[in-house]
Amino acid sequence: MLRPQQFYRFFRRAAQLLRLSFVLVFDRTHAGPIRLRLFFEHLGGAFLKLGQILSLRLDLLPAAYASELLNLLSRVPARPFEELRLVFRQAVGADPETVFKHFDPEPVASASLAQVYRAQLLSGEMVAVKIKRPGTDSLFETDLFLAQGLAFILGWFSFFRDFKIREVVRDFVVWTRQELDFALEARQAEKFKQFLIACPQNVVPKVYLSWCTREVMVSEFLENIFSIDEVIRQLDRDPNYREVLRTREELDLEEISYRFVVDLMRQYLIDGFFHADPHPANVFLLSHNRLGYFDFGLMGEAGEERLPLLNIIYGIANEDLTFSSRHFLSFTKSAFRAEAELFKDREPETYNRYGKIMEKIEEIIVDNLRLDLEQVLASWYNANLEGSSSSSSSSVFSQVARRAGNSVMLPRAAAAFFRTIAIVDMVALRLNPRFVMLKAFRRFFEEYPIYRAEELIKNSLLVLPPDPAIDPLSHLSFEQFLELKERESERLLVAKERLADLVMNYAEKYEEIRKLLR
């Protein structure tokens, strides 16, 4: 329930959004892509962040619109330093000039959430001081509430329903709230850095945790770095810049484009802890083909779903879509594993009676999904042949996730992987117009052969088995034991109802299922 002050902020913000929408709809001095960029730019707040996210969603927007929205990554006007000084003082308890040996009031970067300043610790280290913009929390909360309301309304229209607008906004809300806490970001940066011990070519700035709060984050200031968004803009102005980087900095953008994608796959599939917002302003390059990351407010975690996903990508890389489809199906089987085991234990005869029917249904699901994937990926395979001109894979992998989600239960973390791949594909293509995603997949499996990758994932998921000498029910009272059995009975009933619904659904469509039921 909104309090009166929040209620006022909400309607004032909604009025601003409607007024700006009306002005830009009837603006004939700018093209459509520019008007969309101006919409997000003038609204600011969380809507600016949403525009930045949409700039990388070629599956949702035409290329001209997405390209124009990329300008939002570098078009955030700086706020006066005195406003940021007050935020720092309230967070740390002192002015930056007294905390640091030297503090430069001119920001080196300005983003939708914060501004970054250069400073020197009393101990001599040069640091980057990230300070949240004043009023950001209240503004973003208002915007997120408004965005959810708009998504709910737009979700009733088939055009937006096809793009899963509610799902996009829901993820945006969850992630943005995480990004508002710089202390959480600092901890995630340190955790991410631990995974990079085995990857010395990758760089993450050191974080000074003792100076980090919800509003302030202090990290190592890195010299002579090349932000990817700056590299892309420079390439647009001067195509020869590619050769300048190669000769002067020993930076091969073609090599970097593949290393970037393979590294994101490693983060997700092998480590299970990945950068979920690898847009061009959050990734940087250093001489000698080194790759680095900024901004760890948006990190993703993946668990046991990594194993089937590894095999799905392996099947796609080797053009074996039956193999991929079987592992897509394993997501659904994993989701119902506990209920299936309960069903098998409590009613083995009924479970076995349906066994052959379920095997046939699984065959049908795999065959249908394979046909769907072949339809989606056929042209993609052709475009990825050596010597062919490459195009973005964003829309392709969005379709893969959508088709699979219609057939099986696709975990959110798996959907996040395909979304991340879509982002890094677009970035890789801007660095290297000849980039081929299929080649990147195959390069990943050259570095991490399937048997080795499976071993690494299983070891990271390894959990000690329960001690057989310990009865897990021994600590329960009689009342708790009865409650547990009642819950098991309810789960069994749900499992039987789901099974019956599934069988009847397929029996209506397929004669072979009806035959088995007779």
Catalytically annotated residues? 277
SS (H, E, C) 62-99: CHHHHHHHHHHHCCCCCCCHHHHHHHHHHHHCCCHHHH
What DSSP letter does each residue of 309-344 carry, written as one string?
A: HHHHHHHHHTT-HHHHHHHHHHHHHHHTHHHHHHHH
Distances (CA, A) of 310 to 261, 362, 458: 15, 20, 12
H-helix segments, 201-320: 228-237, 241-249, 253-265, 306-317
The CA distance from 27 to 19, in Å, is: 12
What is the arrangement of strands in the sheet containing 283-286, beginning at the earlier edge strand?
A: 202-203, 290-293, 283-286, 226-227
Cβ proximity of 182 and 89 under 8 Å: no
Q: Which two tokens stand for residue 295?
A: 């901004």
Q: Which two tokens stand for residue 123?
A: 């101990």
Helix (H/G/I), strand (E/B), else coil: 279 = coil
Cβ proximity of 413 and 273 under 8 Å: no
Nearest by Cα to 418 from 59, 52, 49:
59
The CA distance from 425 to 266, in Å, is: 15
Helix (H/G/I), strand (E/B), else coil: 52 = helix
